[in-house]
Amino acid sequence: MQQPVCRRLEGRVAVVTGGAGGIGLATVRRLASEGATVVVADVDREAGTSSADEVGGLFVGTDVSSDVEVERLYRAAYDAYGRIDVAFNNAVSHLPTTTPYSPPAWMPGGASRT
């Protein structure tokens, strides 16, 4: 793991989709080096678990093409740490979506948005 640069993300929680390898893994490492607690999401459970373990984070198996799994990811992150400060959406879904995103009611600000 990289040496801390300035710990500007100390006390923050970051969710990284596609965090098992490549740019996602590099992002997981960098965010952790800056002090963030990192939640790693990926379809590759073995590599994703390894990535999360490397930085002392949490792994949540997630297929970003599934709205249900993405909501489960963010719910797991929120339940584990009580906040989500950073979302790095690195994973790619090739399925088009026609549903506009609205935060779920359990997420702060979710119930009040229209």
Rounded (10°) angle between helices 45-55 and 22-33: 20
pLDDT reported for residue 106 = 74
Rounded to whole angstroms, the Cα distance separating 32 from 55 reads 6
The verdict on pTM exceeding 0.95 is no
Q: Where are the domains of the chain?
A: 13-89
CB atoms within 10 A of CB 67: 12
Place of tokens 């119930």: 111
Q: Which fold has domain 13-89?
A: Rossmann fold (3.40.50)
Q: pLDDT tens-digit profile of 65-80?
A: 888 999 999 999 999 9
pLDDT reported for residue 13 = 98
> Within 13 Å of residue 40, how many CA atoms lie on the same side as its CB?
32
The stretches in the chain having pLDDT less than 70 are 1-5, 93-103, 109-114
Q: Where are the beta strands (DSSP E) in the chain?
A: 13-17, 37-42, 58-61, 86-89
Long-range contact set of residues 102-110: C-beta below 8 Å, sequence gap at least 24: 104/71, 104/74, 104/75, 106/75, 106/78, 107/74, 107/78
